[in-house]
Structure 1
Amino acid sequence: MLDLIASYPALVNFMSTAGNDFYRRLSRDMFLNVGVKYKGSSRFWDRVELQQVTSLKGKDEPHCPQNEHLDLDIVDRFNSAAPAADKYLLHCAPGWQSNQHRVPALLVPGAGLDANSFTDLYAMGYEGLQQQLLELGYRVFAVTFSHTHGDNFIQAEQLAAAITRIRELTGTEQVDLLAYSKGGTAARIYLSGLSETPYRGDVRRYLMLGTPNMGIDFPFRNSLCNYLIYISGSNGVLAWDKVFSLGSMVDVSRRSIYRDGSFPGQCQLLYRWDDVYKLDMLQQDWWSTYYGGSGLLSHSRGIDQAIADGGGLVERLDAVGLQPEIDFYVLAGNNNSFNIFPGDESGPGDGLVFLESVLYTDGLARRGAALKAKDTLPINHLEFLYSRQVARWVNRQLEE
């Protein structure tokens, strides 16, 4: 591992920064939330409603301290940092009743995130997609799921309920869905007719921002990242179920991607890309992490086991396709660096998701759903949340 670190001068400089500042910079540059609590996010919204989904009552969604909600305003609304699976928050932005564009735009967050990720990501001063859409005259809503890495089928039910509530509030027949990263998988479950609530024709346009349509293998491909997640205590999932720490192997199954872990939606996103893009043999424990077994620093059950734990959802969605009446739009990024910190460089992509995965649309259109746009911008995975290029692209797709 030390050889790998030394091979990246920028990484050496990055890791030389001491104390909490190191972890804050890691959070900003590597898309990791490292336990900093935030307050004051309610100022971005006109109202925030706590809603319950009756069909999800009693569903189990395990949490761990690393993936509980950290935004104190959101914790206050839920009355918990680890709310039950039948709860979600609906956020209504200023002008939700009166802005120029009548069709509501519903923002759906990705893994480890919430509705406020579209306003001021990690309280770092970004002007997010929400504010930019407000400037363009849209009636903007957003959902915060009960679990930041939740089961995508549970999130699909929460999303369906949020759409119903927005229609009640606005009197409109349809909404536009703007789904980011993992949030696009929950949306796709609903729009494919795989959720408990059947699709009801209530989505006008479906915009996918950096969604892994053919899955990811990032946690297994990037073994060093697992170690950084572990030592920082960040809101990220581990491909390891054991890690060498302080002279012994420590069981970290609770923080893992497998069935007995606390990140139930992550194994559902997995797909093998090792036949397309080579694995980095310079990374410590690269073989055992991807294929399973014990390495110098870790033990992994392997990506095949994790895919099985997730029910092979990527292939299942690919086989089903979206409902035929849906219009969908796909946006990908091709900058794989997060400022000074390199993301996944083993293939073209946004640092987390391969370009080829985001742009794979054959499965989406399998039943006749209409692909209206498929574009690429020079952004990384984080920048979908605040880039003005993204806001302009969204505006082009949503304009009546």
Structure 2
Amino acid sequence: MFNLLLSKNLFNMDLLEVTPNVYPTIDVGLVNSSRYWDKVELCSVPALSGIKEPFCTVNKHIDSDIVKCFGTDEPEADNYILHYSSGWNTNRNKYPLLLVHGAGLDANSYTNLYGLGFEGLQQKLVKLGYRVFAITFSHSHGNNFYQAEQLCAAINKIKKETKCEQVDIVAHSKGGIPVQIYLSSLGYNSYQGDVRSYLMLGTPNYGIDYLFRNPLLNYFIYTLGANGVIVWDKIMSFATVLDVTERSIYKEGYFPGQAQIAYRWDETYPLDTLQQDWWTTYYGGSGLLGNSQGIDKAIRDGGFLIKRLNNKGLEPGINIATLAGNNVFEGVAFNVSGPSDGLVFIDSALYTDGMTKRGAKLLDKTILPLNHMELLYDNRVARWIDMQLSNK
């Protein structure tokens, strides 16, 4: 749901002793990232013309090729980038496959995650014969309704380019939420019957309360300058109270899509009462480290989207499958208060009752021993995707 990564100058033995699996860089901008794609194209959504979502220093685009394509590191909401993989017009599989990235990421998360050298799902799926495309949203933490519009436009573009009437979609993490908005006709555009199968990788289908139940992580995210939202609007740093509203999850903050995926899990998985500021962070108030407006405020600011999606359900005739990880350790990001992939509870990732209530067909639910980010490059994930799509 966000990137919590240590910069190289902060990566020391004291931190290693506490977080032995932490990723060693905060810089997600790859060198010459366009080499992973046959072509990269800037596209527009006229319906979103004039809309600009707020950016702060940490969530601007930093990949130089992506910034060059957008023409700015703070693109307006009527822009998105469509990435074409090699074989997009020649590979053997009939249906084009669109990859949708999660929060704090871009399409290159499917090629070489954080520049760590892992071959991503994009390359693996191309080798398996898929005609792979990917989208980069204008704002990596953007409003999910705007992203649903960008997604709809991308699907129409792909259909025109490939002369195929339906596409398959694979979405990671928060990227699944705009997909569900479109497939449920909850957004500005009604569903056009143009998605054959929708596969989810660690998507919070019943929401997430991760940073509300792990208060100290908010402090790390802020002090490390990570591209991630926090649930405090004030923070105590070096005996000084700082206003960090722009970094917060609430409607005044610059992470407009994050409140939309907030949901309470405290009755299912109890909070850790030994954590500093556990009560004030979750329910609202001032603690020793920070001030929170509480998770209920975030859910209201997000328009109760998770509840609305599950009340509406996907349009009938869509095949769906969901994959969850059960490795709770993901660098310094971890969620040990219940079974999870380090960020998203398994119960949330595997929840499909709301989606199938109007006739969407559930193909599969699977759990693999992976954390949230390993879902983007592990060979077993590629095989799982291939199994779901090749059976159609």
Answer yes or no: is the 8 Å Cα contact 2:28–2:115 preserved in 1.
no
* Corresponding residue for residue 184 of structure 2: 192
* Corresponding residue for residue 19 of structure 1: 9
Matched, 1:369 2:360: yes
Shift of residue 200 of structure 1?
A: 0.4
* Corresponding residue for residue 82 of structure 1: 74
Question: Structure 2: how far apart are the matches of 1:150 and 1:338?
Answer: 23
List gaps (5 residues or longer) in structure 1: 1-13
Instruction: Give 2:173's match in structure 1, choosing from 171, 177, 181.
Output: 181
Instruction: Give 2:164's match in structure 1, choosing from 172, 186, 190.
Output: 172
TM-score by length of 2: 0.94
How many residue pairs get aligned? The number is: 385
Answer yes or no: is the 8 Å Cα contact 1:33–1:235 preserved in 2.
no
SS at match of 1:240: coil
Question: Structure 1: how far apart are the matches of 2:227 and 2:37?
Answer: 25
* Corresponding residue for residue 379 of structure 1: 370
Question: Structure 1: how far apart are the matches of 2:24 and 2:74?
Answer: 19
1:199-235 per-residue CA deviation (whole Å, 9 max, x = no partner) reads: 0000011111111110000010110110100110000
Cα 1:22/1:364, change in 2 over 3 Å? farther
Shift of residue 38 of structure 1?
A: 2.9
SS at match of 2:199: strand
1:4-23 per-residue CA deviation (whole Å, 9 max, x = no partner) reads: xxxxxxxxxx99x9834359
Matches within 5 A, 1:59-78: 59-78=51-70
Cα 1:21/1:143, change in 2 over 3 Å? same
Percent pairwise identity: 55
Matches within 5 A, 1:39-118: 39-118=31-110
Question: Structure 1: how far apart are the matches of 2:136 and 2:322?
Answer: 22
Question: Structure 1: how far apart are the matches of 2:24 and 2:44?
Answer: 29
Amino acid aligned to 2:160: E
Matches within 5 A, 1:140-159: 140-159=132-151
Question: Structure 2: how far apart are the matches of 1:262 and 1:343?
Answer: 24
* Corresponding residue for residue 354 of structure 1: 345
Question: Structure 1: how far apart are the matches of 2:169 and 2:8?
Answer: 41
TM-score by length of 1: 0.92
Question: Structure 2: how far apart are the matches of 1:37 and 1:105?
Answer: 24
Answer yes or no: is the 8 Å Cα contact 2:61–2:73 preserved in 1.
yes
Shift of residue 36 of structure 1?
A: 5.5
Q: Could you list the structure 1 runs, at least 4 aligned residues long, displaced by more than 4 angstroms after superposition.
A: 22-33
Question: Structure 2: how far apart are the matches of 1:29 and 1:85?
Answer: 35
Answer yes or no: is the 8 Å Cα contact 1:35–1:234 preserved in 2.
no
Answer yes or no: is the 8 Å Cα contact 2:27–2:114 preserved in 1.
no
Let me know the Cα RMSD of the aligned residues.
2.1
List gaps (5 residues or longer) in structure 2: none
